[in-house]
Structure 1
Amino acid sequence: MKLPSMKPGLPTMGAAVPLPVKRADTFYQSNEWRRLVVRRRLDRDYQQARARAKPNERLILDHIVERKDGGADLDPKNTQWLTHSEHQAKTARSKRARSGIS
């Protein structure tokens, strides 16, 4: 015996509200930052990061002390090469520390 199906009693909701598009900070598009990236590719830590990277993993020139935490924008000593996965983990730790969550 086939059971009859019931129509939903509540209206269905539309699609979820889309997340806003992430926009890159215009600082990272500046000529000064791009020149620093090119110069820092000549340093030994770039080669060390390449050795740590998984095949086809991007490398990111990262601020050691983040700009929003008062780190110097264009000081080469405030930058380090990280693999994409290292950068993601560091960013998550920084956000957690900034929010006060352990």
Structure 2
Amino acid sequence: MLPSKRSILLVTLILVISVTAWVMAAGQTVDHRSVLSGHVLSVVNPGATVQEGTVLVVVGTLTGPIPAARATTDGVVKEVLVKPGDIIRQGDLVVRIEAAQK
């Protein structure tokens, strides 16, 4: 027995809605990782609006304070996973940003 046109249309509609919801949800939160190791000196505040290039985390090194993470997208800081005084390593997840809708 062949499926009816109505059931094919219903399945197609459900697939389109599912894919649309998945695409809208994907990529909204952007993880930012440290590019340096060191003692955290300062961090951006949760809820802060940032632009691409904004310094998110500063660490102390032998040569002085250096940005360890910068925003790669415009958006709002949703979560800061480190605090001043913490020791972080290169590659550690430090901040999550909810990307701005374009």
**TM-score interval, normalised by the smaller of the two chains:** under 0.3
* Rg larger for: 1
- Per the normalisation by structure 2, the TM-score is 0.27
Higher RCO (C-alpha under 8 Å, 6+ residues apart): 2
User: Is the strand fraction higher in 1 or 2?
Assistant: 2
